[in-house]
Structure 1
Amino acid sequence: MTAYQQIRYEVTDRVATITLDRPAARNGYTLRMAQELRDAFAHADTDDEVRVVILTGSGPDFCVGADLTGGGFDVDGTGEEELPPLELEPAGSVSARMFAMNKPVIAALNGAAVGAGATVPLAADLRMAAHDSRFGFPFTRRGIAPEGGSTWFLPRLVGLSTALDWTLTGRVFGADEALRSGLLHSVHEPGTLLDAARTLAHEIAERTAPVAVAVTRQMIYRLSSLDSPDQAHRLETRLVRLLTLSPDAAEGVTSFLERRPPKFPGRIGDGLPGFLPWAGDR
């Protein structure tokens, strides 16, 4: 792994925590931060010792959006040479990698989550926030268009009407509104947010099968927006026939009957079915 300058990456008890780490700049988003985030998510995704990823920020804010201290938007170019170049705009480069993950991602959002700080977490599977957190998609107020794939993710999470409200006005709103609208999974006291995210991450890591989670995550994202359930039925039928005969399924049944925590033997690195339609999309 490249030595990161603007984020931290730590793994404890099968949970990788990726932390935006520019607190003095309120975790302002930069090209390098995008490169480092994409690299860290890729590393977590290919490490069979990692079951869940938590994305959070250091200091009082998660991310206030693009770092504008240079007087403009730092979005052009491929970034630092020691990291793989960005092919999409900086927020989209990260959210696209998150979308392709085989591991679930939990975003723990503290303080301000605005601009890229709001769009990147849309690609997480679950978003948790502190009661005092604030959100905003202020792109129209800066004379630019939304980023990070937010025009795809946001309406699916909160509906067209709310997505249009938030993006057309560019207004900032609080955690209560975000929770009511479905943007957030839960809200917590600021001092307990990260612990709550870790509790949820450990529940997934300790009680679910990694291959089943990887397959289920992608099926929900990729099949739920199709015009009919036909493709879902066909893929589910193949997966049910295959996975019910797997060692993971045997362990799932045995651990249930024996009333003990499961110890699933399957690993994503060599256990994903080869016929998945999205294989190789990274």
Structure 2
Amino acid sequence: MSGREILYSVDNRVATVTLHRPDRLNAWTGVMEEEFTGALRTAAGNPEVRVIVVTGAGRAFCAGADMSLLDAASRAGSAVAGHQRLEVGFGPEPYRKRYAWMLGIPKPIVAAVHGPAVGLGFVILLYCDFRLASSDARFSSIFARRGLIAEYGLAWLLPHLVGWAHAVDILLTGRMIGAAEAHRIGLVHRLYEPETYAAEVAAFARDLADGVSPRSLAVMKEQMLRALEEPLGASLDRAFREMQASLASEDFREGVAHFLEKRSPAFRGK
């Protein structure tokens, strides 16, 4: 279901969603917004897909909103059409707003980042579950240098990911951060050399798709989301209920069996 500005493919239970405006460093547009949302909805609803990889074509992950959008917004003094809507209506409450709905997708989303990831591109990768980067990747919120604010929940999300001090530095300076620093402060999970980056990302996604219970992943993603808003006691109660359900699941039986039989797992997500 590839579109004008998004490429979508599925191979060995891994869906790849590619931002595809390489001549503009994959700058974000209204068309890309709609196609990106549609591609992730499709991947989330496809039982054959277990992992989603988001990446960019050409030399960049995403250079942020296309300057034509920012120019139109600056002239109008308000968000341009298509960016006035916050509700997307996907995933559990309260994570149905742009782009927090990505957190509610019950499958791991892996951001594969090379080149610049700036502005809205920075937002998108932060809402992914994993961030894998080439050593040539560069990151910036940039908003303070455009007269904007911490968009789409970044003032809440970024301190949760890297801590208050690093979040203040990233947001208030709007400076460009290299891949090594991003890895050091915990913004990036894995860092690879450019010549091995694509193969390492593919291997990481394949291991998640083949070696981990999709049922476990879905439950744990929701547990972590709920835990952000509930006290420890409620989290413990939820964990107890989910543990009882997991002990009765097919995937638990397979998880024990494949280990004892010394073979690769064949999880079914049930």
How far apart, in 1, do the equivalents of 2:247 and 2:56 lie? 40
How far apart, in 2, do the equivalents of 1:160 and 1:252 lie? 38
Superposition CA RMSD, Å? 2.0
1:61 aligns with 2:60: yes
Aligned partner of 1:10 in structure 2 is 9
How far apart, in 2, do the equivalents of 1:73 and 1:184 lie? 33
TM alignment of 1:129-168, pairs within 5 A: 129-168=133-172
TM alignment of 1:213-232, pairs within 5 A: 213-223=217-227, 225-226=228-229, 228-232=231-235
TM-score in terms of structure 1 length: 0.86
Aligned partner of 2:49 in structure 1 is 50
Letter in structure 1 aligned against 2:162:
V
Aligned partner of 2:31 in structure 1 is 32
Q: Percent identity?
A: 37
> Which of 123, 140, 144 in structure 1 is aligned with 2:127?
123
Q: Flag the 1:47–1:134 CA change in 2: closer, same or farther, 3 A.
A: same
Any conservation in 2 of the 1:78–1:87 contact (CA below 8 Å)? Answer: no
How far apart, in 2, do the equivalents of 1:148 and 1:5 lie? 25
Aligned partner of 1:250 in structure 2 is 253
Letter in structure 1 aligned against 2:262:
R
1:94 Cα deviation from its structure 2 partner: 5.4
How far apart, in 1, do the equivalents of 2:214 and 2:184 lie? 31
Any conservation in 2 of the 1:94–1:120 contact (CA below 8 Å)? Answer: no
TM alignment of 1:70-219, pairs within 5 A: 72=71, 75-78=79-82, 86-88=85-87, 95-219=99-223
Which sections of structure 1, spanning at least 5 residues, go unmatched? 80-84, 268-282
Any conservation in 1 of the 2:69–2:80 contact (CA below 8 Å)? Answer: no
Any conservation in 1 of the 2:106–2:219 contact (CA below 8 Å)? Answer: yes
1:241 Cα deviation from its structure 2 partner: 1.1
Aligned partner of 2:241 in structure 1 is 238
1:229 Cα deviation from its structure 2 partner: 1.3
1:227 Cα deviation from its structure 2 partner: 6.1
Q: Flag the 1:71–1:186 CA change in 2: closer, same or farther, 3 A.
A: closer
1:130 Cα deviation from its structure 2 partner: 1.1
1:111 Cα deviation from its structure 2 partner: 0.3
Q: Flag the 1:71–1:214 CA change in 2: closer, same or farther, 3 A.
A: closer
Q: Flag the 1:156–1:71 CA change in 2: closer, same or farther, 3 A.
A: closer
Letter in structure 1 aligned against 2:39:
A
1:153 Cα deviation from its structure 2 partner: 1.5
How far apart, in 2, do the equivalents of 1:42 and 1:69 lie? 27
Q: Flag the 1:143–1:165 CA change in 2: closer, same or farther, 3 A.
A: same
CA offsets per residue over residues 95-137 of structure 1, 9 Å max, x none? 3231111010110101000101111110111101111111101
Q: Flag the 1:87–1:148 CA change in 2: closer, same or farther, 3 A.
A: closer
Structure with higher RCO (Cα < 8 A, 6+ apart): 1
1:263 aligns with 2:266: yes
Letter in structure 2 aligned against 1:242:
A
Aligned partner of 1:277 in structure 2 is none
1:261 Cα deviation from its structure 2 partner: 1.0
Q: Flag the 1:94–1:128 CA change in 2: closer, same or farther, 3 A.
A: farther
Which sections of structure 2, spanning at least 5 residues, go unmatched? 74-78, 89-95
Any conservation in 1 of the 2:107–2:218 contact (CA below 8 Å)? Answer: yes
Q: Flag the 1:151–1:236 CA change in 2: closer, same or farther, 3 A.
A: same
Any conservation in 2 of the 1:38–1:94 contact (CA below 8 Å)? Answer: no
